[in-house]
Structure 1
């Protein structure tokens, strides 16, 4: 039982990492871990609070994901072109279509891709490099703040799970 428990905790830690790192599954991994624990225990009564908390965290994470980039873009004066450019840049950076980097690989590409994509998209729209750079930075900063908030929510969900289930495993 303890091996399964610790395996699920490790899965949830990957979920916390995924909540912070773009394009990786986050809160959904935590939710899957909690559901597996409920199936192993053959009772969802003991995990009802973590299940509810994690479901709320998952919904909030989706909202934060959209709102953080949007608010960052609006604060920096970005247009929809900058937002679309950031999304395209994320995909291009993640799949390594940016020039090969000496370090970092897809992780660094996921940070540089949205910035470069937002700058290019915004520049195509407004033809002003200074405005494009400001918009690109605003989008990336908003997204990073959103990812940090998602990480904190995911950490809270895992903490609730551990506090709720620790006694079941370790008496």
Structure 2
């Protein structure tokens, strides 16, 4: 049972990484691991608190993601064009449709795609380069801050799981 426990903890660590890095499942992986532990241990009562905390973290992560991007865009003065451009750039970056870089692949595409997309969208709307660059940077900074907050929420969910289940697994 301890081996399964450690494998699920490892899956949760991947979930923490996924909460920060786009395109890797985050809080949903943590939630899945907790549910699997409920089946393996045969006691969903023992995971009630971690399960509730993780569902709340999952919902907060979704809200934080949208709110951080929105606030970053708003602080930088981005228009809807910049926000739409950032989404289009993200999709193109993930799919690898941006000009090829010698390293990084889709991960760099996820970072540079929204920036370039927001700049292009804002430039189309405003016809001025500096406000477009400023808006693009605002969107990216907002997204990065949101990802950091999501990572902290994911760490909290895993910590609650470990604190509540450790005595069950290792006694004490």
- TM-score normalised by the chain length of structure 1: 0.98
**Structure 1 position 108 matched with structure 2 position 108:** yes
Give aligned pairs, total: 171
**Structure 1 position 160 matched with structure 2 position 160:** yes
Distance 2:11 2:101 in 1: 29
Shift of 1:23: 2.3
| Residues 92-125 of structure 1 deviation map (CA, whole Å, 9 limit, x = unaligned) | 1111111211111111111000000000011111
RMSD of aligned Cα (Å): 0.7
Distance 2:25 2:118 in 1: 23
User: What residue is the counterpart of 1:94 in the other structure?
Assistant: 94
User: What residue is the counterpart of 1:134 in the other structure?
Assistant: 134
Q: How does 1:1-171 map to 2 (within 5 A)?
A: 1-171=1-171
Distance 2:24 2:92 in 1: 15
User: Structure 1 stretches of 5 or more lacking a match?
Assistant: none
- TM-score normalised by the chain length of structure 2: 0.97
